[in-house]
Homo-oligomer: A and B are copies of this chain.
């Protein structure tokens, strides 16, 4: 096989299997090449990812080592994504009144979600998370994409305990957004005690829902090592959780305030 095509095939297989550790033997046998040629190919692919900012290749030497592709996104890519999201959100017909905004189409747009996921993967890779956790429903596509890219299972916390989830543990928590007590429920089979999780959600106002997720995971001795949220309300300033990473900020999305304003998290 020609070197050109080999590089294409290498990039295709690595990017289709993000964070999967490949034994270098796998590619040497597949391409029928020596380890030194594979190293050259990997160097070219790695350079390419670095130039475009779309990720990087990690090489782990020794027994149990191998090659792994970690998805990424360039700073320009992040700014472009944020601008696209802000433009889409600025359509005034989204304002449903009572502080509610129609955002389902944003959270269900595959291209936006794929790029949002790259931001969180870039941030959270290396924290050694065993799961990506979200609470149904709107954050599921984003959380699923982050989990896929980090090559760890997705765990979806349900609003109601379902029989098809087997034994569950439930908690009640106060949601400031809906101004009432809500319930969440997690399947006992879904998580192992003593593990680490990244929490992903579509929206946060006061952080009650994310706090609830932290608490329910705490019941299983699961530590939250990172939190990523697509859109975070500027007010209230004091949130019930810390160390969350927003992609966008939302301001003034409340009764009586005239127009909702959106701004990019420029620290990304």
Q: Are A101 and B154 in contact (CB under 8 A)?
A: no
Q: Are B102 and A164 in contact (CB under 8 A)?
A: yes
Chain A interface SS verdict (over half) = helix
Docked CA distance A190–B7 (Å): 41
Q: Which residues from chain B contact A20 at a C-beta distance below 8 Å?
A: 111
Q: Are A141 and B113 in contact (CB under 8 A)?
A: no
Q: Are A114 and B7 in contact (CB under 8 A)?
A: no
Within 8 A of B (CB), among A131-184: 136-138, 140-141, 144-145, 147-149, 151, 153-156, 158, 163-166
**Chain A 102-118: CB-based contact to B (< 8 A → 1; otherwise 0):** 11110011110110000
Least CB distance, A148 to chain B, in whole angstroms: 3
Query: Which of B11, B51, B147 is the one whose CB lies under 8 Å from A11?
Result: B11
Q: How many residues of A contact B (CB 8 A)?
A: 60
Is A48 part of the contact surface with B, judged by Cβ < 8 Å? yes
Q: Are A148 and B113 in contact (CB under 8 A)?
A: yes
Query: Which of B101, B110, B155 is the one whose CB lies under 8 Å from A144?
Result: B110
Q: Which residue of B lies closest to A103 (CB)?
A: B164
Q: Are A165 and B104 in contact (CB under 8 A)?
A: yes
Q: Are B189 and A105 in contact (CB under 8 A)?
A: yes
Least CB distance, A265 to chain B, in whole angstroms: 22
Docked CA distance A70–B186 (Å): 36
Q: Are B111 and A148 in contact (CB under 8 A)?
A: yes
Query: Which of B9, B111, B154 is the one whose CB lies under 8 Å from A48?
Result: B9
Q: Are B154 and A137 in contact (CB under 8 A)?
A: no
Q: A2-B44, A4-B7, A138-B156 are in contact. List 12 more A-B contacts (CB 8 A).
A: A7-B8, A8-B44, A9-B48, A101-B164, A102-B164, A109-B154, A111-B148, A138-B164, A140-B141, A140-B144, A141-B141, A141-B144
